[in-house]
Amino acid sequence: MPIPERLKPAFAPARPTEPDRLPEARKRLIVALDVPSAAAADDLVARLQGTCQWFKVGLELFAAAGPVVVETLAARGHSVFLDLKFHDIPNTVAGAVRSASALGVRMMTVHAAGGPAMLAAARAALDGLADPPQLLAVTVLTSMDAAELQFAGVDRAPADQVALLATMGLAAGIRGFVCSPQEVAALRALTGPEGVLVVPGIRPEGADAGDQKRLATPAAALQAGASFLVVGRPITQAPSPASAAEAILKEMAAAIAS
């Protein structure tokens, strides 16, 4: 005889907990190594050893230390995001993308504002590679608000400009984008689940905004649909970078679990 519905034990589905989700959070946090030398980068990476796995090399460190800093990080088993935001004619950007991919990076950026031909050339430069890095188009810098955009000749609101650039990028075959936390939900709707959305402008509750204008907490950015979070100064300028990173990872893990 079948057991009546009301007598069946109510097994609540096991909810993932925050500690369960820490490894996933670790895979989705990228630390921006915005430091002036290879020695400073080495020091920071050593302090974050075992806590963080992704590191972003941007213009400051690359200009100071060159490709060797990227190759060293990759050779030590770290995942490297090379954030040089290429913006030039299609042929030049395609060549730069090819050169950068040879350094063993896992992600790299070009500026979406370079236009459809430049984006298509950047994407095509990775065709045929066995394990190509994720190409990301930077939409609107997180340091820009509507007033800054207007000075640069753009009359649209930041959110509208981001949507315009992302739609253009998608048409050029780009599937990864950098955007602020404030546009990530709209971009997720545009790209669907396959879109790789990398989000800087992250500040834990109470942290100093610095020059960033379009901001959110780690939890809010993940809940809005971010694939990866980029965090610089809240970790790198903390008295203990590892403790600051752990706190952010915990917040991320709780957001992922919920």
Q: What residues are annotated to the active site?
A: 85
| 106 contacts ligand C5P (rule: CB under 6 A) | no
Exactly one of 105, 121, 172, 230 binds ligand C5P (CB under 6 A); which one?
230
- Cβ proximity to ligand C5P: between 156 and 257 the closer is 156
Q: Total residues at the site for ligand C5P (CB under 6 A)?
A: 16
**Stretch of 47-55, 95-103, 134-142, 162-170 lying at the interface with ligand C5P (CB under 6 A):** 134-142
Exactly one of 65, 93, 138, 226 binds ligand C5P (CB under 6 A); which one?
138
79-86 and 54-57 strand pairing? parallel
Coil, strand or helix at 142: coil
CB of 79 to ligand C5P, least distance (A): 16
| 178 contacts ligand C5P (rule: CB under 6 A) | yes
Residue 64: CB atoms within 10 Å? 15
| 163 contacts ligand C5P (rule: CB under 6 A) | no
CB of 49 to ligand C5P, least distance (A): 20
Q: CA 113 to CA 91: how far, in whole Å?
A: 16
Binding mask 142-161 for ligand C5P (x = CB under 6 A): x-------------------
For residue 170, what is the enclosing H or E element? helix 158-171
Single-letter amino acid code for the residue at 54: W
Beta bridge partners of 229: 29, 199
| 107 contacts ligand C5P (rule: CB under 6 A) | no
User: 109: phi > 0 → left, psi -120 to 50 → alpha, else beta; which?
Assistant: beta
- Cβ proximity to ligand C5P: between 91 and 167 the closer is 167
CB of 7 to ligand C5P, least distance (A): 55
Q: CA 204 to CA 209: how far, in whole Å?
A: 10
| 212 contacts ligand C5P (rule: CB under 6 A) | yes
- Helix 18-27 to helix 241-257 angle (10° resolution) is 110
**Stretch of 61-69, 86-94, 121-129, 137-145 lying at the interface with ligand C5P (CB under 6 A):** 137-145
SS3 annotation, 88-134: CCHHHHHHHHHHHHCCCCCEEEEEHHHCHHHHHHHHHCCCCCCCCCE
Cα-trace Rg, the chain: 20
**What size, in residues, is the chain?**
258
| 183 contacts ligand C5P (rule: CB under 6 A) | no
| 231 contacts ligand C5P (rule: CB under 6 A) | yes
Task: Give the residues lining the site for ligand C5P (CB under 6 A).
Answer: 32, 34, 58, 83, 138, 141-142, 178, 200-201, 210, 212, 230-233
